Amino acid sequence: MTKTSLICGSLATDTIMQFPGRFGESLLADQLHKVNVSFLVPTMRTEFGGCSGNIAYSLKMLGGDPRIVGVMGQDSAAYLERLQKLGISTANILIKADSYNAQCFVTADADNNQINAFHPGAMSFAHENPIANAGPAKVAIISPDGDQGMLKHAADLAELGIPFMFDPGQQLPRFNGDQLIDFINKATYVSANDYEMEMLMERTGLTLPEIASRLDALIVTRGEKGSEIYTDGKRIDIPVVAAKEVLDPTGCGDAYRAGLLFGITNDLGWETSGRLASLLGAIKIATQGAQNHVFTPESIAEQFEAAFGYRY
């Protein structure tokens, strides 16, 4: 049986700029109705990102077989070349020649306050990229993407009989209660952080146990408090793994989900899958950027044994 994981979600580039001062020193509280300011940013870096790219990056290093189903624009060449060098298939990435890649422009100040602008670009056309073209898979994930694409991919995966994880992330507010209930009913797994989980319950009117009862597993992450996996009527508590450094949380959730997908495709069981996911989040947070951490299957196995006392 195939161990391929279909990774549906955004592919984006992040431009991150650092303002050495403080935004508050340039913004007048009584003049915010007519803001016209410019910040000098001596340092700037560009990072590869987007949920599907981040998940596929970590899953490939684990030894998984990710296949991205996403959309990119006319400026996709560098990102496509990177994915190909990593051995990640680009065959199911749709190119929209009249659009740009999804892009986030981040300006941070000395206190780590941020002013962000996000351009969805080609991501908005996710619904034009058919899931069926990606071939068979053991599991799929619907991560944040164009909202029409997320709806269509859920319907298509259900029709194809491919189990999938619904991971709405920052796109959750785009859906109403009925749409979210439909996602839950079609999905095999749902993954959300604690804030998203509260919003999911508020929007759907369902309690956490009611949501979990409709799924094979409900995964709730709680940052430094670890995570919980609800399955078969019980709760599995997943401990947090101490990070060597806490440098950048960007992409930590995506690394965590890569661990879950690897566990599902290799039948590791939920306790081991959750612990592997927790380890990957700790490794990612110690590195700047969402796709700059490096490991091998062997090094991960060793770190897992050191953290939990057994090999997966």
pLDDT at 75: 96
Residue 310 counted as domain residue: no
Residue 235 counted as domain residue: yes
Residue 287 counted as domain residue: no
Residue with token string 């590195």: 287
Kindly list the catalytic residues. 254
pLDDT at 26: 80
Taking the model in full, what pTM does it have?
Answer: 0.94
The residues, any chain, with a CB within 8 Å of residue 305's CB and separated by 6 or more, are: 311
pLDDT at 108: 87
pLDDT at 1: 67
Residue 68 counted as domain residue: yes
Q: Which residue stretches of the chain have pLDDT < 70?
A: 1, 28
pLDDT at 244: 93
Return the closest-CA partner of residue 290 out of 75, 120, 57. 57
Domain that holds residue 13: 4-22+44-244
Pairwise CA distance, residues 291 & 105, whole Å: 17
User: Which structure tokens are listed for 181?
Assistant: 């209930």
Residue 39 counted as domain residue: no
Residue 306 counted as domain residue: no
Helix axes of 51-62 and 270-285: crossing angle, nearest 10 degrees: 110
Pairwise CA distance, residues 246 & 120, whole Å: 29
User: Could you tell me the CATH number of the domain that includes residue 221?
Assistant: 3.40.1190.20
Residue 223 counted as domain residue: yes
Residue 289 counted as domain residue: no
| E strands, the chain, in order | 4-8, 12-18, 43-49, 65-73, 93-96, 102-108, 114-119, 139-142, 164-166, 189-193, 217-221, 227-231, 234-238
Contact criterion met (CB below 8 Å) for 261 and 55: yes
Q: How many domains does the chain have?
A: 1
